[in-house]
Structure 1
Amino acid sequence: MARALSIDYGKKRTGIAVTDPLQLIASGLTTVNTYELVPFIENYLRNEEVSTIVIGEPKQMNGEPSELGDVIDAFAKALQEKYPSIEITRVDERFTSKMAFKTMIDSGLSKSKRRNKALVDEIAATIILQTFLDSKM
């Protein structure tokens, strides 16, 4: 079975998480500068079998798309065109950054490590991916 990969797309940084090949466990993979995202994905897909890419869908509290909504929609569409055999799906990412920060506190990370925004993005991508996995059950 192929992995699922998730993307917490941001203006500056993008968090990335993946599942194991059986798609049972979501784990943080890395955070990349957003301008390096496409080459990173291309390289990853050359080396790993991926059946699904889950992209966080940022929404405002009222359910309207956020300011990055159009950019992320275009990114998702470009991925689907380039990789038609891979399922591209979206997951509401409201509160994932707050949940990631709370996870960091609950796991006992020091204040200095909690300031690491790249780690917050990676954990948020993991939460997005776990949400996707939970929805399949």
Structure 2
Amino acid sequence: MGRILAIDYGTKRTGIAVTDELQLIASGLTTVETKDLMPFLNKYLTSENVDMVLIGEPKQRDGTPSEVEADIQKFLVQFSAVFPNQLTERVDERFTSKMAFQTMIDSGLKKKQRQNKALLDEISATILLQAYLNRK
């Protein structure tokens, strides 16, 4: 069994989380600059056994697509061209950033540490992935 990789795509940074090989536990992997995302994924997906890639689907409260969705669609076209056989799934990522920020507060991080946007993106991806695992 392979891992599941989750992507919380952003215009500047992208948070990435991954499961263990048994697909039981979601863990933050890293945050990469979005401009470096495809090279990172190319290296990771060729060196690790990944069954599926989850890609966050940001929506407004009313269910309409978020502004970043247009950028994600461009990324999806590029991703499917480079990895045509990779199974992907879109998952609703509403409120993951708010949940990630609350997680940072609950874990006792100081205000200065909570300003780390890269950490916030990585935690958001982890929450996205864990929610998927919980539904599975």
SS, match of residue 54 in structure 1: strand
Deviation beyond 3 Å, 4+ runs, structure 1:
none
Q: Once the 2 structures are TM-superposed, how far is the Cα of residue 83 of structure 1 from its aligned partner?
A: 1.9
SS in 1 for 2:67: coil
- Gaps in structure 1 of 5+ consecutive residues: none
* TM-score, scaled relative to structure 2: 0.95
Q: What is the alpha-carbon distance in structure 2 between the residues aligned to residue 80 and residue 93 of structure 1?
A: 21
Deviation, structure 1 residue 46: 1.6
Give the drift of 1:67. Answer: 0.8
**2:70 aligns to what?**
70
1:97 is aligned with what amino acid? S
Structure 2: unaligned runs, 5 residues or longer: none
Q: Could you tell me the percent identity over the aligned residues? A: 61
Instruction: Name the residue aligned to 2:122.
Output: 122
**Correspondence 1:4-23 to 2 at 5 A:** 4-23=4-23
Letter in 2 for 1:82: V
- The one-letter code of the counterpart of 2:8 is D
What is the number of equivalent residue pairs in this alignment? Answer: 136
Alpha-carbon offset, residue 28 of structure 1 = 0.2
Q: What SS does the corresponding residue of 1:43 show, helix, strand or coil?
A: helix
Check conservation: 2:11, 2:71, Cα contact below 8 A. Answer: no
Alpha-carbon distance in 2 for matches of 1:46, 1:135? 28
RMSD, matched Cα: 1.0
